Amino acid sequence: MGNRYFGTDGVRGVVGESPMTVDFALRLASAAARVLAPAGGRVLIGKDTRLSGYLFESALEAGFVAAGVDVQLIGPLPTPGIAYMTQRIGCRFGVVISASHNPYHDNGIKFFDAAGTKLSDEVERRIEALLDEPVVTRPSQNLGRATRIDDRRQQYQDFCASTVPAGMDLGGFKVVIDCANGAAYKVAPRVLSALGAEIVPIGCSPNGRNINDACGSTSPELLQLTVPGVRADVGIALDGDGDRVVMIDALGRVVDGDQLLFILASARQAAGDLRGPVVGTVMSNLGLEQALGERGIDFRRTAVGDRYVLAALQETGGTLGGETSGHILCLDKTTTGDGLISALQVLAAMKRAGAGLAELAAPMPKYPQVMLNVKVERRFDPTADDAVRLVTERAQRDFDGRGRVVLRASGTEPVIRVMVEGHDAAMVKRAAQEIAAAVERAARAS
């Protein structure tokens, strides 16, 4: 049975609309405390730069303190930084207030356990089962305390820098860093500078409303202009909560998550450090699978979502996986997707090989791929609609084994994603438009 509120990455929605309300956040904190810290303990709360982060931070703080849990408030910090610091300072669990790559009027709440990993479906269901119960308030002598620990941010910065091979620095690199006016706006430039890179920061001036606004990994156009404009070696684009990354080569071309995954897998294979299969998703480009196969590297696919990539890596003993969007897992370095740490591994590969980003990405072909998002009032299974199924089957017959169609409901937005990929760009575009039109008709009829 699916969750009522938890999606693929915590609870998320438009601020002021269910479930992203103050009342819900208070009840969520109370329920989470009873499941994750029934005997008390500490919780770490971090957030991105959205204006609404203040209200959810206060509501969660109240709920946890009332339930007898001590609260550590670290302020704006990337999601993976919260995962790391939750372990580092010995918290029972961690909470991130962020809607990742979504616009500022959205927000979300996601959790990490004491080991810095995301909660299982079973634990999320246990929390949801308590959401309709009254908020717990312990006797005065058993209430929790709240403490601000903004100065502990340095520990995460030091950890990020330590993931670069010992004795290596980034001297000689000119890097444009785009932090999407989000959670990494302080730590990312500081880490790169500390490692010796010359940096040009953009998207590092948050005002509460400009997170992911024409910047960051979902809108890298400004970065594409800036990198060649300032004659930089490379550009790094993070998303609003810092767990995704795409990069820009010296000519201003985007190097996406699939290409970055190929670069990292190739570098680890060359160094003898690659363990287990590389894991992608059903959305990963066929070119990635082909290029890895040519190098004798096993490649596996999962459903979309880093939690499924993580589960497959844990099951197979692998350490490297990710998504086209740039959510990359380097489990030999950290427990969750970390855009900055992934970028540092790519920079290290460039340094070790003495090659530019474009050169390292070149051996991986990219099959033409079109992604269309069909907005819907409510999620539904598009593959269950007869008309959608007929159009999809016709497209797959036309590809004759040299293309793919993936239809799925987004776990974070009210859209049905239509992805078509194949050897012929015109055929891919036409098939995507036809299938999206069929999905739109099905959505209106549902």
100 classed as catalytic: yes
**Cα–Cα distance for residue pair 238/286, rounded to 1 Å:** 24
The 3-state DSSP class for residue 45 equals strand
What is the DSSP-derived secondary structure letter of residue 140?
G
CA angle 309, 313, 316 (to 5 degrees): 135
HSE, side-chain direction, 13 A CA sphere, residue 187 = 34
Buried b (16+ CB within 10 A) or exposed e, 133-144: eebbeeeeeebb
Q: Which segments of 56-183 are extended strands (E)?
A: 69-76, 93-97, 106-113, 146-148, 174-178
> Quick one: CA torsion of 54, 59, 62, 66, rounded to 10 degrees?
-160
Cα separation, 274 vs 268, in Å, equals: 5
Give the tokens for residue 98: 């962020």
Catalytic, out of 30, 98, 100, 325: 100
Residue 71 pairs in a beta bridge with: 43, 146
Distance of alpha carbon 56 from alpha carbon 207, whole angstroms: 17
Give me the DSSP letters along 407-425.
Answer: EEE-SSSSEEEEEEEES-H
Integer Cα distance of 181 and 190 in angstroms: 15
Rounded-to-integer distance, Cα 281 and Cα 147, Å: 40
Task: Spell out the residues 6+ positions from residue 191 whose beta carbon is closer than 8 angstroms to its own.
Answer: 157, 160, 161, 340, 344
- Asked if residues 324 and 284 have their Cβ atoms less than 8 Å apart, the reply is yes
- Is it true that the peptide bond before 19 is cis, omega within 30 degrees of 0? yes
The strand order across the sheet containing 328-330 reads 299-302, 278-281, 320-322, 328-330
Q: How far apart are the first and last CA of the chain?
A: 21
Which residues form the catalytic set?
A: 100
